[in-house]
Amino acid sequence: MANVEVSLKETMTSIEGALGVALVDYSSGMALGTLGGGKELDLSVAAAGNTDVIRAKVRTMEMLGMQDEIEDLLITLGTQYHLIRLLKGRGSNGLFLYVVLDKANSNLAMARHQLKRIEANLEV
pLDDT of amino acid 40:
86
Please say if the pLDDT value at position 1 is more than 60. Answer: no
Enumerate the β-bridge partners of residue 36.
20
Residue (of 97, 99, 123) closest to 37 by Cα position:
99
Binned at pLDDT 50, 70 and 90, residue 90 comes out as: low
Alpha carbon distances (Å) from 24 to 4, 9, 30, 72: 11, 15, 6, 14
pLDDT given at position 123: 80
Q: Give phi and psi for 113, each to the nearest 5.
A: -65, -45
Mean pLDDT of the region 6-19:
95
- Taking 80 as the threshold, does the pLDDT of residue 89 lie above it? no
| pLDDT confidence of residue 121 | 85
Q: 62-86, pLDDT tens digit by residue? A: 999 999 989 999 999 999 999 999 9
Average pLDDT, the chain: 91
